[in-house]
Amino acid sequence: METLKVIKIGGNIIDIEKEMYAFLEKFARLKGPKILVHGGGKLATSLAKKMNIKVQIKEGRRITDTATLDIITMTYAGKINKNIVAQLQAYQCNAIGFSGADGNTIVSVKRPIKEIDYGFVGDIKKVHPETLSLLINNNITPVFCAITHDAQGQLLNTNADTIASALAIAFSKNYQVELYYCFEKKGVLTSIDDEQSVIKNITTQNYKSLIDQGIITHGMIPKLDNSFYAIKNLVSQVHIGLPDMVFDTTIPHTLIQDS
């Protein structure tokens, strides 16, 4: 079975132009089918502040009112997504930018109001991979931003880690899928201040223990929850760490395993 790589980038890889271009040059040379997923929260926050739009973060999640959704759409689906696509074209990697609305690829539901009203935030309901499959089969690389839709005309801000996991799962029936979460850390760390304290393997057996010990805290938990959900749904491998791990898996990073 052919291998498909779903690679999510965030943090400084997007915020620092030099780092992003260095990653994209290597990504463009990566052989085989691949999908790139990106966030862009820091840039969206910066633009919101310039436009005097209040930024609200609760429990690590962005409250997305109408004005914030406009900022996110401009930033994610516009500036970041199109710059990435243009740069990939410069590196001879044919790419097309996507939101969940494009090709009806990812349908979400607006998150119900409980203790917190997150506004126009989407929880993924269904992935339709058919359009992406056509592109991938013709050597075109999809580049996904963190926006989905509700099939009723409403765009929704959706966690990029969750999008990457959902896409990986959707393709796991036809490919051996490897999911990579790339950011500015070497992996999941036992100490946030020690870059060398990488936890090389996290399993379903030791995950809860790491949370109970306070080693894994709320900021990393959603990423790991998405990782384990992917593993339980036929995704073959999940890796967390620096972007170079995509091109050299011997580089120290965190591997998520089912047992």
**What percent of the chain has a predicted confidence (pLDDT) above 90?**
75
Query: 3-257, what's its fold?
Result: Carbamate kinase (3.40.1160)
Fill in the amino acid letter for 2: E
pTM of the model: 0.95
Express as a percent the part of the chain with pLDDT over 70: 100
The residue extents of the domains of the chain are 3-257
Predicted pLDDT of residue 22: 95
In tens, the pLDDT along 158-202 reads 999 999 999 999 999 999 999 999 998 899 998 888 888 999 999
For position 191, what pLDDT does the model report? 83
